[in-house]
Structures are given as structure tokens and as C-alpha cells.
A and B are shown apart, each in its own frame.
Chain A
Amino acid sequence: MRNFLAIFNREVKSYFSSPIAYIVIGLFLVVCGIFFYLIVSSFAQYCMYADMQAAQSQYRMPPPKLNINMMAIRPLLNNISVFALFFLPMITMRLYSDEKKTGTAELLLTSPVTNAQHILGKFAAGGLLYLVMLGFTFLFMILLFIFGNPETGPVFVGYLGLLLLGLCYISFGVFFSSLTENQIIAAVSTIAFILFFWAIGWLAGSVNPGVGKVLSQFSLIEHFEDFAKGVLDTKHVVFYLSFITMGLFLSFVSIESAKWRGR
């Protein structure tokens, strides 16, 4: 535990003592902010339009009740899940690549710290940064609570989904970082890999239904659908947790096997 914390602390401090954390968090919020504005303002326009239509109708219909959860929060969550895919690899890419490049890996890997301890320490540090990012986007949601009346439950379920999905990106980000000393390669491979696991869902539609059903089971975004709708289903939680475990396990294998190859 002490070793885990030592690694975790060092990584977190290192994020905040260089510009990366600030730039990634800042840009992420700018992009999320823009989409928040676009989605919410179009939702507001749509509401106004619907009200007007109802008022003008001859049959004196009550104005339709438009669901802010479905029409604003859900697309917003979907958008955040996409942005995270492009921003999180920038956080994870340095975790091992940098140690290999600067030679600190020789310190880390000859210290009495187990592979599990440093993998989890680094993973958790990336996770913390992601929590900070999500925390800031939650401020947008608070605006919606102030000026509207969304249901609380689904918002939290949606955020749980975002957290789990992001941890999947981070866990594979750690894995790809452990494979190379080149940070760019690590980031690009992570994005490509995750995109593949999204595309599997789209692919599913175009192959025969039996195979398609199996394939869509592996689609990262398919499992996010229910979270975005505010439906909590353990099946999806289990899927994401397995995905995360897989990434961490592969990191372990890659670090163990690298020493036989010569690191």
C-alpha cells in the first residue's frame, strides 16, 4: 500500500507540476463547454417552439412536457464520452513511455515495488485526473439543476457510466504506454484501439445477426447507451470492470515480458 501510494502521489504531483494536466483539463472543458452551450440552447429553442405551437393550436392542447434528461443531458453525456476518448490518452501516454525514455524505469523496476503496485498507482493517478475533469463538467449539470428540473438519479447513473468508460480508456492507455518509449505512439495506439472497440458495434449491424449479436456485446459504446439513458444495469458495470481489468492485466504481461526481450 505504501508503494502504491508513493507511485500514485508522485504521478499526481508530476501531472500538476508540468503544464500537461492544466492544458488537458482546460481544453477538455472548453470543448465540453461549447457542446453544452450548443445542446442546451437548441433544447431551449425547441422548448419555446413547442410552447408556441401548443398555444397556437386550435385544440388548446397543453404544451408538451419535454424531458431535459432525454433531450439535453443524454446527448451531453454521449459527447463527453467521445471527448474523453481523445483527451485521456494524452494523460496516460507518458505513464510508462516517459520512464523508459528518461531511464527512470531502471530505478522503478529495480526497487522493491511489485508490478501490480506501480501499475495500479499509475492507473489511479490517471483516474484521479479524470475525476477532476468530470468534476468540472458536473458544474455544467448544476446549471441545469438551477435553471431546470432534471431527474437526479439518471444524471448520477450517467456519470457512473462516464467514469467506468473513462477508466477503460485509462487502463488501456497504461497498457499502450508500457509498450513503447514513444508517447505519441502510445496515445495514437490507445485511440485506435478504443475506436476499434466502438466500431465493433457498428460492424455488428452489417454482419449476420448471430455474429453481430456477439460482436455488439464487446462494443464499448453499446454498453454506455443504458448509462446515458439513466438506466443502471449490473451487466454493463461488469463489462466495464472486466475491460479495465483486462487492460491492467495486459500491462502486467507487457512489463513482465519486456524484460525477457531486453526492455
Chain B
Amino acid sequence: MIDVQNVTRLFGQVMAVNDVSFRVEKGEILGFLGPNAAGKTTTMRILTTYLPATSGTAKVAGFDVHEDSMQVRKRIGYLPENPPLYPEMRVRDYLEFVAKIKGVDSANRNKAVDEAMDKTAITDVNQRVIRTLSKGYKQRVGLAQALVHNPDVLILDEPTVGLDPKQIIEVRQLIKNLAGNHTIILSTHILPEASKLCERVVIIDKGKIVAEETPENLTRKLGGSQRLTLVVGGPSADVLKNLQAIKGVAKAQTIEKIDKNKAKFVVESKSAESISADVAKAVVGKGWSLYELTPESMSLEDVFLHLTTKEEVVQ
């Protein structure tokens, strides 16, 4: 549905997007993850035809964003970083205006507006002047605006930014509900959000893609290490020494003594390969009792930190 190839965008000397390529299949939700100034917004603006790329090509639904921009525009719904609202308009009038310029014909316009308001749960404020709405409601009107013409592709730039936790959950649920009918790209710098919502995550930093994975794979492949917590019955000093001796273990530590003969340990692996089996074998082989063994994957946050710091080291 979306095909981006070697897209680069310069602003004077600043390379906002640097040779970026990725694809999004129909019905997929792609997360666009990166710290500030990574180039997320710029990439989205290129996809929505707001800005042209300096070089490279991008296609949406088979249409080139530059050559066939009108065709692309008909097929996308876009929620920019700041919802594009006319503060003096009423919610309903605003959505009708958007439907009109998005090409929804007058026979279907009312229905389209009703549906968009229904999906985003703003029907109760449909006669309110936008200026008087709360931030969360404004964001929802922004989302309704992106949906009103039922586009194939939705491009959402940080859709949950500035919302309170309850609203964040609601908006995320809403986006989840939209998946399937729409192909979605959403940008965020909140990692749990990407891992909750997206089937695939593209991580971008300083204009370059540094990783592209499913959230699980990302953690596993790029996490670099795995962490286990275990509760063992046995002389704790001995147990610790043995754990440290296992091949593939980078670090082992006692975290708490549960009672005289039982303690909790944490073990970190050197690589991404699983060490659970080796650890279990080592403990049981000594005749100690293994009460608990839980692998703990590193959070995406850790991964991300890892990725960006690695990039910085390279430079």
C-alpha cells in the first residue's frame, strides 16, 4: 500500500530524512519510532504530499506522491502533529467542510460525518465551537477529520501526544479498531505505544532507519541480552559462584535472601541466545531445588536507548 524508496529530504544543510526505504502492506499498522528531530514528521509530510522529497520515490496505493499527488491525497487521511482545526468553526460544520474538500459527494456527506463522529466518540460535542473543546476532544476531532472520507491509508503523527492517560488508552483503542480496514502509519516516541499498537516498527534516528522489526523480534534481536530471575534452594554463595561459571552468562547477582536456604538471583546473558536451559541444568545438576525461573525480556525502551546510543558511538 505504501512504498518508500531511498527518500531523502534536505532543509538547506540539514538532512532531515536520509535515504529511507520501507513498505507497508494493506491493512498493516506500522509504527514510526524515533526521538525528537529524527525525521518522522518530515517523512510523513512527504507521504502526504505536503512536502516533496529531495530525492527518492514514494508511492501510496500505487500512485507516486509527486507525480499523482491528487490521487494520493484522495486516498489518505492525515492527522498532523497539531490537529489542523479551524477554532471558530463548529465541530459538525468543520467535518462537513473537510468531507467536502476530500471529495465526499453531497449525498453521502452527512452519513460520512456521522460515522466519523461516532467512531471517535464526539457526537455529543458536534455543535460546539472547536475553540472551546478540551485538548483531548480536539485531538479526537483531528482524528475524525482524518477518517471522514474513509481513506485507505491513515497517517497519524503522534496521535496520543498531550492526552491524559485515560484519553491515551481510548485513542489507542480507537486506532486498534481502525486497523484492518485501513493501512496505518503512526509515529510516536513512546515505545510501549508502538509495541502495543503496531505489527511492525521502523526505528528512525537522525533521518536514518536504524531498525525495522516486529516489536517482539526487536526486543530479542537487538536487545542483545536476556535476563533471568530464579529462586534456588541451596547455599547461596555456592549457587552464585556456579551461576557465574555458566558459559554465556555475563553477570549473576543475588537480589534477596528469602530464607536461610533459599535465595533469589538474577542472571544476564552475554548474547541474545537463550540461556534458560543451561541455567536450569546447572542448578538441578548440583542437586539444588529450582523454585522459579522467569525470563525477563528487556523493554523496548532499553532497546531504543541501546539503538540510539549505538548510533552516537558510531558518529
Query: Which residues of A come within 8 Å of B, CB atoms?
Result: 2-3, 6-7, 10, 13-14, 17-18, 102-114, 259-260, 262-263
Contacts and interface: CB of A to CB of B under 8 A. Distances in A.
B39 interface: no
Nearest to B51: A259
Contact of B84 (A13, A106, A260): A106
Given A104-B86, A109-B49, 19 more contacts: A3-B101, A6-B100, A17-B88, A102-B84, A102-B87, A104-B84, A106-B45, A106-B80, A106-B84, A107-B80, A108-B84, A109-B50, A110-B49, A110-B78, A112-B70, A112-B74, A259-B50, A259-B52, A262-B51
Interface string B95-114: 00110111100000000000
25 contacts: A2-B100, A3-B101, A6-B100, A6-B101, A10-B86, A10-B97, A13-B93, A14-B86, A17-B88, A102-B86, A102-B87, A103-B81, A104-B84, A106-B45, A106-B48, A107-B145, A108-B101, A110-B76, A110-B78, A111-B73, A112-B70, A112-B74, A112-B101, A262-B51, A263-B51
B103 A112 contact: yes
Contacts of B50: 106, 109-110, 259, 263
Nearest to B86: A104
Main secondary structure of the interface of B (DSSP, over half): loop
Interface in B97-149: 97-98, 100-103, 145
Contact of A106 (B78, B98, B102): B78
A260 B52 CA distance: 6
B85 interface: yes
A121 to B, nearest CB: 10
A48 to B, nearest CB: 51
B259 to A, nearest CB: 62
Nearest to B10: A262
A127 B93 CA distance: 23
Contact of A112 (B11, B81, B87, B102): B102
B82 interface: yes
Contacts of A108: 84, 101
B89 interface: yes
The 6 closest A-B pairs by CB, nearest first: A107-B84, A103-B82, A106-B80, A112-B73, A6-B100, A104-B84
A17 B129 CA distance: 11
B88 A103 contact: no
Contacts of B78: 106-107, 110
Interface in B48-72: 48-52, 70
B109 to A, nearest CB: 11
A111 B70 CA distance: 8
Contacts of A104: 84-86
Nearest to B105: A2
A2 B97 CA distance: 11
A51 to B, nearest CB: 55
Given A103-B84, A107-B145, A112-B74, A262 B11 contact: yes
Interface string B33-48: 0000000000001001
Contacts of A14: 86, 88-89
Contacts of A260: 52
Contacts of B80: 103, 106-107
A112 to B, nearest CB: 4
A18 B131 CA distance: 12
